[in-house]
């Protein structure tokens, strides 16, 4: 029996007319965009459908980097007397800080971009055009 990956089960939720710039929407949105685009909605025109993935805000946070920055600032201020600053911080406390900041980021920050996976090239068919005309009452 052929196995299907979880990613393959996710329906495309974004499209591109050039294979680089993706917009949220499905096949209908892609066809609508082509209809109003200078290239037009013509049989054989290529477009792409893909699955979007928005990262969590906390994925950009690293507690070790934050602690290193604090240590560097302490060394700038205290010189050699600050060399041991935060070196005795227990791992559990660093994890507590990571969780606190990560939870705050995820609750208060919105990521305004996405990456795409499973992009597939599509071609406009006569059936696509007919469906668009029917949907638009033509």
Crossing angle of the two packed helices 126-135 and 27-36, in degrees rounded to 10: 90
Please report, for residues 1, 5, 53, 73, 113, the alpha-carbon distance to residue 119 in angstroms, rounded to integers and kept in the order given. Answer: 25, 15, 12, 45, 17
**Do 22 and 15 contact (CB within 8 A), yes or no?**
yes
Q: Over its length of 138 residues, how does the chain's per-residue pLDDT go in tens digits?
A: 444 444 456 789 999 999 999 999 999 999 999 999 888 999 999 999 999 999 999 999 999 999 999 999 999 999 999 999 999 999 999 999 999 999 999 999 999 999 999 999 999 999 999 988 887 776
The torsion angle over the Cα atoms of residues 123, 127, 132 and 137, rounded to 10 degrees, is 170
Domain ranges, ordered by start, for the chain: 6-54+113-135, 57-108
State the pTM of this model. 0.71
């Amino acid at each position: 029996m052929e196995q299907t990956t979880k990613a393959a089960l996710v329906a495309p939720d974004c499209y591109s007319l050039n294979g680089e710039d993706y917009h949220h929407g499905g096949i209908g949105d892609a066809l609508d965009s082509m209809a109003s685009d200078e290239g037009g909605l013509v049989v054989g025109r290529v477009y792409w459908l893909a699955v979007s993935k928005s990262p969590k805000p906390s994925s950009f946070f690293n507690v070790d980097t934050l602690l290193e920055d604090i240590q560097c600032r302490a060394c700038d201020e205290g010189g050699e007397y600050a060399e041991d600053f935060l070196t005795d911080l227990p791992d559990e406390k660093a994890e507590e800080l990571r969780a606190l900041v990560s939870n705050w980021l995820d609750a208060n920050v919105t990521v305004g971009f996405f990456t795409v996976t499973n992009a597939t090239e599509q071609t406009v068919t006569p059936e696509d055009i007919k469906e668009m005309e029917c949907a638009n009452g033509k």
